[in-house]
Structure 1
Amino acid sequence: MVLNLITFASLLHKQASILGSHELILNELEKYFTVNIVEYQNINKLTKDDFSLLFIATGGVERLVIQHFESLPRPAILLADGMQNSLAAALEISSWLRGRGMKSEILHGELPEIIKRIFVLHSNFKAQQALSGSRIGVIGSPSSWLVASNVDYLLSKRRWGIEYTDISLERVYEYYNQVTDDEVGEACAAFAGKALACREATPEDLIKAMRLYRAIKRIVGEEKLSALTLSCFKLIEQTGTTGCLALSLLNDDGIIAGCEGDLQSIFTQLAVKVLTGKASFMANPSMINARTNEIVLAHCTVGIAQTEQYIIRNHFETEMGIGIQG
């Protein structure tokens, strides 16, 4: 792992004395990382793919940093071991950056804690890189009760490199009607055979739900989607089924899938995947107990791979289609 230290030092200090005064922290960093000392004049030679910290090597560098404001990595992580009045300078710089809307953090203190924090920051950096270029399909529109879950598509593209793309439900209906019962019969039998039980749902319900899964998966391939959110309730009127099974199976396929056209939840699910490498599921907080430190989450579906066992149910609100109890 390469760690670029964009070094800001006062012109009053000689380069040799600067590195010598920070020998302790630099030697410790070199045990874990390939350390690349980059003088601030060369900051533009680094790219957005380079993991970089601002190494505040001395005091008196506040003006130097703000002169390079546009070129600084975002967020700005300032490393200051306290030598040569560096911590005071880092605090002043951090305050200035925050006042202009840039997130910043100062790394200072015990060396083992600094090393641990750098590993976390590097993980976050790699996750943000992984998010860039992702495409989220918005099939239908957000449910009416999601009054605080809007997303600015343009800002998402500019800030994160994530593209939201609207897909009409009519396209889903078209593909759904093209899938025959015979095409999904074997998949339905396999799915039902692995279930612990089947409660309210009928074989016809399962066939419809599996046809919907095939239709949506076709769109995922055509649109090259990394994730999708589905306007589930509007589907019921046209298909007589819900998207619960489709979303469950898509998550197992590695396609992050969420319900209700919830734009922010699907963003969060995608972020969870790149940070942890694991799938998540969208759920409502049903109960919180502060005394026992417990929270109960519930929803109409979950990825099969996330469960130990599953029961085939119907959809909670409509009592139609297929729901997954894990």
Structure 2
Amino acid sequence: MRIGVIFGVSELANPKEFEGKASRFLSSLAQEHEVEGGFFITTKADFREARESLDFSKVDVILLYPLTGGTENALKEFGVFRRPIIIFGDPYNNSLAAGIELREYLRERLIPSSLVKSPEELRAALLGYEDEMETWNRFLRMRLGLIGRVSPWLINERFELPYTRISLRKFYEYYESIGEEEGIEAVREVVERAAGVREPVERDLTTAGRVYVAIERILKDYKLDGFTIGCFDLIGKIGGTPCLALAMFNTRGIPAACEGELNSLLGMMIVRRFFGKPSFMGNVADYGRNYLILAHCTAPLLGRYVLRSHFESGKGVGVGVELPPGRASLFKIRGRKAVVAGVKVIGVEKSEFRCRTQVKLEVEDAGDFVDGTAGNHHLLAYVDGEVLADLLSELSFEVMLY
């Protein structure tokens, strides 16, 4: 295993006093592993020098050893490399105190982080990471994108993971470069397979196709694995929405979330990467003792579907999909917390006073679930709830399973 090692020493301490301890630590570690680095870090300037000397994104594990307290700000910078991190603390010079603070900072950013205080614990932690390396790589290497902005009504949205931001100005540059013929051709097959087209006219379908092609080119140019888009901002500018484009991307295996919500995108990415399934992102529209209705204007095209307008604006192209019956999971991610319920898809609804795709779920004690969940948008995925909850726990989420 390739390990990148960093020692932290505060500005109040003399690094020379710790050179012997650091040397012995490195020598012991090198007997079993490929060790790189060994830099002493005091300031963020030291961090920048270290990253120029060694690409820490290429190591298997980063090992941080705060030799003193007061090193948290410099050492936390190594979280940017998105690698599993082990923090070694000892009982002296406030080493453990700094390690606890670092561990929580990193865990809040969903970076696997363990604190150990002995060579035996360190050896066990390294073995544990080695066993789960494939899982962590699949999670930590994800490239997420936000096109536009997070919708302002998502007042609980909090997101600490790295993502690429693409401005709406840049999106419009891509959009304007795409002709009408290319736009209508992009959605032709989806339109032909639809069970019906109600409100949208050819101009709406053409706009939806141009949106799809613009996003497709953005994904390629920015090398993104999935994206979310601040969709409502498009309505006034182009008179359309990306609902159909999102449905098409989710159907073909590219996670795509609406309203600029990054937490929902992250959940979609996890389900796609680890289960090979798409997710339906929806609003809680209603619930009763043992049922819940989820609704939104975009959904993966997993069943019979009708092309409609976007519900709130009456513009663009939304989709009303009859999602198939079966066992599934209903879940919500917000920051480090996740709420998961095993559910059963039992039917579809077709109210004209809700978003176009409406699915009815059998949820035991639905009121308790709604009372304990972490915000509005939820994801529905055809995966086992307990298996999903176990995976999320493994990925450092704090999971509540209903």
Letter in 2 for 1:182: E
**Cα distance in 1 between the residues matched to 2:280 and 2:130:** 25
The question of whether the paired residues in 2 share the 8 Å contact of 1:127 and 1:274 is answered with: no
CA-CA distance at 1:189 after TM superposition: 3.1
Equivalent residue for 2:309?
314
Q: What residue ranges of structure 1 are gaps of 5+ in the alignment?
A: 1-38, 51-72, 77-96, 105-120, 157-162
- Deviations 1:182-220 (CA, angstroms, capped at 9, x unpaired): 123334332221001111111111111111111111111
Query: What percentage of residue pairs aligned between the two structures are identical?
Result: 36
Higher strand share: 2
Equivalent residues in 2 for 1:152-301 (5 A)?
152=160, 156=161, 163-289=162-288, 291-292=289-290, 294-301=291-298
Partner SS state of residue 176, structure 1: helix
- Deviations 1:288-324 (CA, angstroms, capped at 9, x unpaired): 33x33x32211110122xx211100010110100001
**Cα distance in 2 between the residues matched to 1:124 and 1:268:** 20
CA-CA distance at 1:123 after TM superposition: 10
Letter in 2 for 1:259: C
Partner SS state of residue 283, structure 1: strand
Equivalent residue for 2:142?
134
- Residues 124 and 248 (structure 1 numbering): CA distance in 2 closer, same or farther, change over 3 Å? farther
Match of 2:300 among 294, 303, 316: 303
Higher helix share: 1
The question of whether the paired residues in 2 share the 8 Å contact of 1:226 and 1:256 is answered with: yes
- Residues 235 and 278 (structure 1 numbering): CA distance in 2 closer, same or farther, change over 3 Å? same
Letter in 2 for 1:288: Y
Letter in 1 for 2:180: D
- Deviations 1:233-258 (CA, angstroms, capped at 9, x unpaired): 11111111101011111222322110
Equivalent residue for 1:29?
none
Partner SS state of residue 142, structure 1: coil
The question of whether the paired residues in 2 share the 8 Å contact of 1:173 and 1:239 is answered with: no
Equivalent residue for 1:17?
none
- Residues 316 and 42 (structure 1 numbering): CA distance in 2 closer, same or farther, change over 3 Å? farther
**Cα distance in 2 between the residues matched to 1:286 and 1:132:** 33
| TM-score normalised per structure 1 | 0.59
**Cα distance in 2 between the residues matched to 1:124 and 1:198:** 47
- Residues 169 and 123 (structure 1 numbering): CA distance in 2 closer, same or farther, change over 3 Å? farther
**Cα distance in 1 between the residues matched to 2:130 and 2:224:** 26
Q: Relative contact order: is structure 1 or structure 2 higher (C-alpha 8 Å, sep ≥ 6)?
A: 1
**Cα distance in 1 between the residues matched to 2:218 and 2:186:** 19
Equivalent residue for 2:154?
146
Alignment RMSD: 3.4
Whichever of the two has the greater Rg, that structure is: 1
Letter in 2 for 1:299: H
**Cα distance in 2 between the residues matched to 1:205 and 1:185:** 9
Letter in 2 for 1:145: W
User: How many residues are matched?
Assistant: 223
Partner SS state of residue 318, structure 1: coil
**Cα distance in 2 between the residues matched to 1:301 and 1:284:** 11
**Cα distance in 2 between the residues matched to 1:123 and 1:198:** 51
Equivalent residue for 1:108?
none
Q: What residue ranges of structure 2 are gaps of 5+ in the alignment?
A: 1-27, 36-57, 62-83, 88-99, 108-112, 115-128, 322-402
| TM-score normalised per structure 2 | 0.49
The question of whether the paired residues in 2 share the 8 Å contact of 1:173 and 1:238 is answered with: no
Letter in 2 for 1:276: F
Equivalent residue for 1:79?
none
Equivalent residues in 2 for 1:25-64 (5 A)?
44=33
- Residues 75 and 265 (structure 1 numbering): CA distance in 2 closer, same or farther, change over 3 Å? farther
